[in-house]
Amino acid sequence: MSGLPRLDEIDRALIVATQGGLPLVARPYQAIGEQIGIAGDEVVCRLQAMLQSGIIRRIGAVPNHYAIGWTANGMTVWDVADERVDELGARVGALEFVTHCYRRPRALPDWPYNLFAMVHGASRVEVADKAAVIATLLGAECRANEILLSTRILKKSGLRI
Amino acid sequence: MPELDVPQGHSLRSAVDRQIIDKLQGDFPLCERPYAEAAERLGITENELLARLQRLLDDKVLTRFGPMVQIERMGGAFVLAALAVPEGRYGEVTGLVNALPQVAHNYRREHALNMWFVLATETPQGIAEAIAKIERDTGLPVYAFPKEREYFVEMKLAARA
């Protein structure tokens, strides 16, 4: 796994100290620094470096999507030919309303789907309408599909190392 | 483990909260007083931003405020996995699965595979260990759907309620 940025003990301590959230105080980076034994300036530099290397995707608010009105969340799953999935996946992922789009392995015979696209809406109908746009895009390339609506968040703590 | 209820008909109290949610999903400043800088962009005071963030967290409108870590960039792994849980055991199995710190989030979905969770571990071997533990604890087979390719990921949804 060459090319992965190396994470030293201090970076790791910084992730552990912030993974539950930043302190809600005027100088949060200084507060974290005091906790792990480095200066606030160094906290800022290290967070900046981890943002640049992609270890940190972003820093900010993580909403509960249900609470901000996105009450219907649908995992749409599609069975398309393996030799076509990359081209089709790129096109589905480019739709403005798709938040995540991945190729994943099938689990035959129960699960024939290899293309996953998450769509969100304020209602089941909105999710179904968005899935219909994907279905139109895939056309005859889609051999089977389903929408798995979520009905409850059972846990959403985010990553914990 | 507490279950997170899906808030029904929750509406945000103000346009300011909406701005906070929409504008602060990324690009949180890296400086000595980041809340003051972010507050200035929003046209409110540092104290007001801190108080509103605290309330949004208390009300579970935000699940977290801080860095989002991409564990794969530090040599770890994320895997989507699912279980087909008998209805009569749903609460018990939810507790067993959520008890693992490696379970970053977990959703109930309408399907024979009715529990979908994401495992995040610091090493690729950690995934196999977590799956083995869940299978041992629950007696149910885990369906693992590791991503084979990522076509798109950008989970930033604007507040609409």
Tokens of A17: 């100290």
Q: A49 and A81 share a domain?
A: no
Tell whether A63 is covered by a domain: no
Tell whether A2 is covered by a domain: no
Q: How many domains does chain A have?
A: 2
For residue A159, the chain B residues in CB contact (below 8 A) are 68-69, 71, 104, 120
What is the rounded CA–CA span in Å between residue A78 and residue A57? 28
What is the rounded CA–CA span in Å between residue B149 and residue B29? 32
Tell whether A158 is covered by a domain: no
Residue A31: enclosing H or E segment and its boundaries?
helix A28-36
Tell whether A96 is covered by a domain: yes
**Alpha carbon separation from A153 to A86, B62, B106, B107 (Å, rounded):** 30, 14, 6, 5
Q: A25 and A93 share a domain?
A: no
Q: A77 and A139 share a domain?
A: yes
- Print burial letters for B48-77: b (CB count within 10 Å at least 16), e (below 16): ebbebbeebbeebbbbbbbbbbbbbbbebb
Query: Is the N-terminal amide bond of B146 cis, ω within 30° of 0?
Result: no
For residue B6, the chain A residues in CB contact (below 8 A) are 66, 71, 151-153
Q: Which of A22, A68, A79, A111 to mutate to test binding with chain B, by most B CBs within 10 Å of its CB?
A: A68
What is the rounded CA–CA span in Å between residue B148 and residue B153? 14
Closest CB to A99: pick one of B104, B108, B155: B155
Provide the angle, in degrees to the nearest 10, between the axes of the packed helices B46-58 and B34-42.
90
**Is there a contact between B62 and A62 if contact means CB atoms under 8 Å apart?**
yes
Residue B78: enclosing H or E segment and its boundaries?
strand B77-83
| Structure confidence at residue B10 (pLDDT) | 44
Q: Which of A18, A32, A47, A64 to mutate to test binding with chain B, by most B CBs within 10 Å of its CB?
A: A64
For residue A2, the chain B residues in CB contact (below 8 A) are none
Tell whether A156 is covered by a domain: no
Structural fold of domain B71-145:
Alpha-Beta Plaits (3.30.70)
Closest CB to A158: pick one of B20, B46, B64: B64
Provide Rg for chain B, Cα atoms.
Answer: 19
Q: pLDDT tens digits for A24-72?
A: 999 999 999 999 999 999 999 999 999 999 999 999 999 988 888 888 9
Tell whether A137 is covered by a domain: yes
- In terms of Cα–Cα distance, which of A41, A55, A102 is closest to B68? A55
What is the rounded CA–CA span in Å between residue B35 and residue B53? 10
**Is there a contact between B69 and A15 if contact means CB atoms under 8 Å apart?**
yes
For residue B93, the chain A residues in CB contact (below 8 A) are none
Q: pLDDT tens digits for B1-55?
A: 333 444 444 454 588 999 999 999 999 999 999 999 999 999 999 999 999 999 9
- Residue A46 is part of which domain span? 9-53
Domain coordinates in residue numbering, chain B? 15-58, 71-145
Tokens of B41: 């962009």
Phi and psi, residue A115, nearest 5°: -125, 125
Cα angle value B140/B78/A126 (rounded, 5°): 85
Q: A97 and A44 share a domain?
A: no
Q: A41 and A76 share a domain?
A: no
The predicted complex's ipTM stands at 0.82
Strand, coil or helix: B37: helix
Position with higher pLDDT, A78 vs B5: A78
Tell whether A83 is covered by a domain: yes
Tell whether A58 is covered by a domain: no
What is the rounded CA–CA span in Å between residue B117 and residue B99? 12
Q: A92 and A129 share a domain?
A: yes
User: For B3, which DSSP code?
Assistant: P
The CATH number that applies at residue A108 is 3.30.70.920
Q: pLDDT tens digits for A104-156?
A: 999 999 899 999 999 999 999 999 999 999 999 999 999 999 999 998 889 88
